[in-house]
Amino acid sequence: MKRSTRILGLLLLVVLCAVLVASFAGGSFTVHMVVHMGIVAVAAPLIAYGMPGTRLDAFPGVARMTPMLASFFELVAVWFWHLPALRALADASLALSLLEQASFLAAGILLWRACFRPGEGRLAGAAGLLFTSMHMTLLGVLLALAPRPLYGEGDVSCFGISLSAAADQQIGGIVMLMVGACAYLLGGIVLLAGLLRDGEALPTEKPRW
């Protein structure tokens, strides 16, 4: 099961990279966000779930990463690459854009693997995913409601459809909200549900009499 999940995640990663390369000339932020969310919210958890027992899971950085620390790295990577100046550089260079997506993949795998690791506890994993959902939601709202386009001007080609830069950015922000924020929120809820179902109790302080 885990091997099949890992293979499915890798195949999806290849498809998303092909989409990025094929549509790069269009300059669409929505396409960028579809690829980004597909990597961190779908491919990364599939790969992370299938990692136990592989060589990749043996790296010290993966083994020592806590859910909250991994969520912080995810926050830094996502917000760094969505600064307007960095976004402009990535949009102008396919190599840099691929490097950007690679950093998203690494951060996503670290986060999902840390949250899936049984030794960390489901509560810690749920906290990491819910925190990630919060900062993804914030960025998605900022992008969708920005009064002007932050990434370029004029028209862009989004999967063959001509859109203004403002409309393209708004759609991209909505994609982040609908896919990214919801995926992390759902993951956190699933971990919490498992916590309640299995009867794991929160540590409590002994009452003082």
Distance CA 92, CA 144 (A): 22
Q: How many CB atoms lie within 10 A of CB 76?
A: 12
pLDDT of residue 115: 86
* For residue 174, pLDDT beyond 90: yes
Of the chain, the percentage scoring pLDDT greater than 90 comes to 57
Q: How many CB atoms lie within 10 A of CB 185?
A: 17
Question: What does 36-77 look like in DSSP terms, one character per residue?
Answer: HHHIIIIIHHHHHHT-TTSSGGGSHHHHH--HHHHHHHHHHH
Q: How many helices (H) and strands (E) does the chain have?
A: 10, 2
pLDDT band at residue 61 using 50, 70 and 90 as cut-offs: low
* For residue 201, pLDDT beyond 50: no
* For residue 62, pLDDT beyond 70: no
pLDDT band at residue 23 using 50, 70 and 90 as cut-offs: very high
* For residue 105, pLDDT beyond 80: yes
pLDDT band at residue 182 using 50, 70 and 90 as cut-offs: confident
The amino acid at residue 165 is A
